[in-house]
Amino acid sequence: MKLKLLVVWAIFIQSVVVHCKEMDAYHESVTMDVINNNKLYSFFNFTTIWDFSDKFAPHHYNLFPRTLGELILKYQVAELHFTMTQGLWRNHQWGLPHASAPTGAQLWVWFDGNTVDVDKNWIGFTNALSGLFCASLNFINKAVTVTPTMSFFPTGAFEGGYPNNKFLRYGTLSRENLCTENLTPWMKLLPCGSRAGPASLLNPSQLHHSRFLSIGIHFMTQCQSPDCLKTFVELQQHISVVFDIGSGTHQDFTLRSLFLHLIKPACPLASTSVIKFKVPSDASISPPIKKIEEFYLVQNLFELTSDTNYKVKLNKQHLETIHIPEGITSHCFPTGLGLEGGLRCSLVNNLPKNVTVVFFQVVPWFLYTQLHTLKLETESGHRIQPDIVNFAPAKIRESPHKLELVFMLLAQEVTVLNIQFTRGFQTWTEHPPDANHGYYISPACLTIPTVELGNLSRDHSSKVQRIFSEALLITIPVPDFSMPYNVICLVCTVIAVAFGSLHNLTTRRLQKVSPKHKSPLKKKIDWLLEKICKKALDQEKNPSDTR
C-alpha cells in the first residue's frame, strides 16, 4: 500500500519547480481563446510574487494583499486553493481549461507542518475567508470536510518533501453562487484593482451574462534553487469567463461588445502585462497584432498608448462545425428511484493510450454509501481492478463518505463507475430553507497527469490536470412541512381512535355482572385467605391430628 502510494505520489505530485531568483513582481495577462467558432474563453491571470529575505515578513506588504497575508500568517496556511464558480465547464465541447474548478465553491488548504490543531485552524480560516469574500464558506463544517489522500498534493514546495496529508483539508459547497459581492473583494486584492491592464475589462454586470464564470485564488510557496534553501511565495488570481459570441450571423465580436469596456494600458506596478488571442487561422484582428508565441497572438499592454477595442472577424464558413469530444471526459449522474439510489460516472478516454487516473468523490453522510456495491467496468463489460481503493465511510453528522480510487482508463473505451447508496433521513430541523429543492453531491474529480494529455492541456505549468464532473442534485425524503402534514396527523389520530375503540369492542368479552357480586379476583383472594385461616385454626384446635 505504502509503495503504491509512493508510486502515485511520483506520478501526481508537483515536482519542485525551480524558479530563477525573482524580486517582488506582478504579472498580469489575459488569454482569449475562440472555441468552436461560437464561444470565447477569456482567462485572466494575475500573479503576485513576494520574495523575502528569510521569513514571511508581517510588517511590510508591498504588492501582496495585506488582508489575505494576515489570514495566511494567523492560520499557518502553507498552501491555499480557493475557487468559486458559476456554471459548468463543459469538457467535451470546450476542451480542458487553464484552471479547472468545480461548480460552486471549493476550498483546499495545506497547513504548515508545525500546526498543532489543524481542525481548529481550518474552521477559523474558513470563517475568516467567508468574511473576506462575502461567501458562505462558514458552511464548510466538519460534516463537509474531508482529507484526500491522493488527489490534492501541494502544487508548490512543501516542507519535509513528502507531504503528510493530515495537514490537508478539503471542502466544497455546490450550492454556493458566485455574485458581484464575491467579485468585488476578489478585485480589491489586485494591486491596480480594475483600473488598468487586463483587469480593466472586468465589468461585473457583463461577466454575469456569460456561460461560465469562475474566480480563483491560489497561494503557494516556490523554491528559488534546486536545494530549496530559499523560497518565495506566489499568489495567483484567476478569472475564467466563457461568452457566447453571437449566434446565427453575428459571429464577429469586439472587446466592447462582450465586456462593455475597452482594454486599458498596463498597470504601472506590473512587471509584465499582455493580452493573447488564439483565433482560427483565417480570422482577422484589428488593430493587428504581429507577435506570435505558441499559437497565440501576443500584445504587450505596455505598448498601448490609449484604451483599445480589439475587433475579431471570424470566417462564417466554420459556423456549423460539430465538435468531436477529445481527450478524457467524465459525466456523472444519480441513478435509481425511491429510497435506493446510486451514483454512476461514465469516464470516456478518447486517447490512443491507457491512462492512470485518480478518481475522487465525496458523498454526504445522509446517503449511506456501501463500498461493496462499487463496480468498475468498461461499457463492453471488461472488469477493471482499481490499483488503490481508499474509502472512508461517513460518520453520521460528523463527516462525509470519501471515495478515492486509482485505476487505469483503457484507451478508446468508456469506463463506468457505479456505487449504490440508500437515502437516509434528516431530522426535520436539519433541513435547510427550500428543503424540497434537494441536496447536492459535490462534483467528482478526476486527476490526470498532464504528460498523458499532451497538447490537449492548456496549462502546461502544473503537473496534473483535474476534470470535474457535474454537481448532482438529488432528493431525499423530506417531511411535509405544510398543511397536508397536519391532515395526515389528524387522519392518523382519527384512525387510531377509531381503531382503538373497534379493537376494544371486538376483542372484549361482554358479560353481565350484578353489582352485588364482588370482583372475581377479590373473591379469590378472600377465599384463599379464608381457607388459610381455617386451616390454621384447625391446626391450633387439634395439633395431634397432623402428626
Partner 1 sequence: MSGLKKLLPRVNKICILLYFGGIVGFLLLSHEGIRENCYFSENALLPGLVDSKFSASDDQIHNINLDILDPNSEVTDELEKFMLRVGLEVYRQKFTFQEKFVGNARIQNGTNIYGIVRAPRSASTECIVINIPILNNKHNFGMGIVLALAKEMRKQFYWAKDVIFLFTEHGSFGARAWLNAYHGIVSYPVSANQLPARAGSIQSAFTVHMEEDAVSFINLLVEGYNGQLPNLDLFNVAVRLIKIHGMAVSVNYEFVPRQSSAMDDIKSHLGATLKMMKKQVTGTSSGNHGEFIRHGIEAITLQTVYNPQWGNAGFVRLGRVIEGISRSLNNLLERFHQSFFFYILPSTDNYISIGMYMPPLGLMLAAAAIKALSLILEANYVNSEETDKNKETKKDSDTKESVEDIDDILKDMGSDYASKENDIKNSEAPPLQQILITMVTSHMMGFLVFYAPVFTETWSQMFNCPQDISITLLLVTVHIAGMFIITSYRLTLEGGKSLYVVSLLHQGILFGVVAIINFSLGMFLAVCYVLPTILLQPGYMKFNLLRKFVAFLVSPLSIAALICLYTCNGNPATVISEFVNFHVTVYEQSQTQQSWLFDFIALLLYPLWLQFWAITSSEGKILT
Does residue 534 belong to the site contacting partner 1 (CB under 8 A)? no
Does residue 520 belong to the site contacting partner 1 (CB under 8 A)? yes
Nearer to partner 1, 1 or 337 (CB): 337
Does residue 530 belong to the site contacting partner 1 (CB under 8 A)? yes
Quote the least distance from Cβ 249 to partner 1, whole Å.
12
Which residue in the block uniquely carries the three cell numbers 480557493?
82
CA–CA separation, 449 and 7 (whole Å)? 13
Nearer to partner 1, 13 or 472 (CB): 472
| Torsion angle (degrees, nearest 10) of CA 147, 151, 155, 156 | 50
Quote the least distance from Cβ 497 to partner 1, whole Å.
14
CB 231 within 8 A of CB 54: no
CA–CA separation, 216 and 236 (whole Å)? 8
Task: Estimate the share of the chain in helix, then strand, then coil, as percent rounded to the nearest 5.
Answer: 25, 35, 40
Q: Which residues pair with 279 in a beta bridge?
A: none
Quote the least distance from Cβ 520 to partner 1, whole Å.
5
Site track for partner 1 across 435-474, x = CB under 8 A: xxxx-x-----------------------------xxxxx
Q: Which residue stretch of 44-52, 341-349, 356-364, 386-394 sits at the interface with partner 1 (rule: CB under 8 A)?
A: 341-349
Does residue 497 belong to the site contacting partner 1 (CB under 8 A)? no
Q: Which residue from 31, 42, 91, 103 is in contact with partner 1, where contact means CB under 8 A?
A: 103
Q: Which residues pair with 220 in a beta bridge?
A: 234
CB 261 within 8 A of CB 195: no
Q: Which residue from 434, 540, 541, 546 is in contact with partner 1, where contact means CB under 8 A?
A: 434
Q: Which residue from 261, 318, 344, 375 is in contact with partner 1, where contact means CB under 8 A?
A: 344
Does residue 106 belong to the site contacting partner 1 (CB under 8 A)? no
Assigned C-alpha cell, 107: 476550498
Quote the least distance from Cβ 437 to partner 1, whole Å.
5
φ/ψ (deg, to 5) at 18: -95, 120
Nearer to partner 1, 295 or 481 (CB): 481
Q: Which residues from 54-83 bind partner 1, rule CB under 8 A?
A: none
Q: Which residues from 16-45 bind partner 1, rule CB under 8 A?
A: 38
The pairing of beta strand 311-313 with beta strand 231-244:
unpaired
Does residue 247 belong to the site contacting partner 1 (CB under 8 A)? yes
CA–CA separation, 291 and 309 (whole Å)? 18
Does residue 249 belong to the site contacting partner 1 (CB under 8 A)? no
Q: Which residues pair with 246 in a beta bridge?
A: none
Name the 3-class secondary structure at 390. strand
CB 253 within 8 A of CB 219: no
229 Rama sector, left if φ>0, alpha if ψ -120 to 50, beta otherwise = alpha
Nearer to partner 1, 37 or 221 (CB): 37
Residues 6+ apart with CB under 8 A from 245: 34, 38, 39, 40, 251, 252, 253, 258, 314
Nearer to partner 1, 262 or 478 (CB): 478
Nearer to partner 1, 195 or 523 (CB): 523
Name the 3-class secondary structure at 4. helix
φ/ψ (deg, to 5) at 378: -80, 165
Q: Which residue from 24, 87, 165, 278 is in contact with partner 1, where contact means CB under 8 A?
A: 87
| Torsion angle (degrees, nearest 10) of CA 339, 103, 16, 154 | -50
Q: CB-based burial of residue 499 (10 Å sphere; 0-12 exposed, 13-18 middle, 19+ buried)? A: exposed
Q: Which helix (H) or strand (E) holds 472?
A: strand 472-474
Quote the least distance from Cβ 443 to partner 1, whole Å.
9
Q: Which residue stretch of 42-50, 149-157, 261-269, 335-343 sits at the interface with partner 1 (rule: CB under 8 A)?
A: 335-343
Q: Which residue from 511, 542, 544, 546 is in contact with partner 1, where contact means CB under 8 A?
A: 511
Quote the least distance from Cβ 478 to partner 1, whole Å.
7
Q: Which residue stretch of 87-95, 195-203, 273-281, 405-413 sits at the interface with partner 1 (rule: CB under 8 A)?
A: 87-95
Size of the site for partner 1 (CB under 8 A): 55
Quote the least distance from Cβ 151 to partner 1, whole Å.
21
Q: Which residue from 47, 86, 149, 240 is in contact with partner 1, where contact means CB under 8 A?
A: 86
Nearer to partner 1, 395 or 437 (CB): 437
Does residue 431 belong to the site contacting partner 1 (CB under 8 A)? no
Quote the least distance from Cβ 87 to partner 1, whole Å.
5
Q: Which residue from 524, 525, 532, 538 is in contact with partner 1, where contact means CB under 8 A?
A: 524
Which residue in the block uniquely carries the three cell numbers 490609449?
306
CA–CA separation, 331 and 416 (whole Å)? 10
Which of 198, 180, 184, 195 lies closest to 255, judged by CA?
198
CA–CA separation, 448 and 409 (whole Å)? 10
Assigned C-alpha cell, 21: 531568483
Does residue 134 belong to the site contacting partner 1 (CB under 8 A)? no
Does residue 205 belong to the site contacting partner 1 (CB under 8 A)? no
Residues 6+ apart with CB under 8 A from 488: 480
Does residue 537 belong to the site contacting partner 1 (CB under 8 A)? no
Nearer to partner 1, 346 or 350 (CB): 346
Does residue 179 belong to the site contacting partner 1 (CB under 8 A)? no
Which residue intervals of 343-472 are DSSP H helices? 450-453
Q: Which residue from 16, 25, 57, 88 is in contact with partner 1, where contact means CB under 8 A?
A: 88
CB 91 within 8 A of CB 467: yes
Rg (CA), the chain: 34
Quote the least distance from Cβ 39 to partner 1, whole Å.
11
User: Which residues in this chain contact partner 1 in the complex, by CB under 8 A?
Assistant: 38, 85-88, 90, 103-104, 174, 208-211, 244, 247, 320, 322, 331, 333-337, 342, 344, 346, 379, 434-438, 440, 470-475, 478, 480, 482, 487, 502, 505-506, 509-512, 520, 523-524, 527, 530
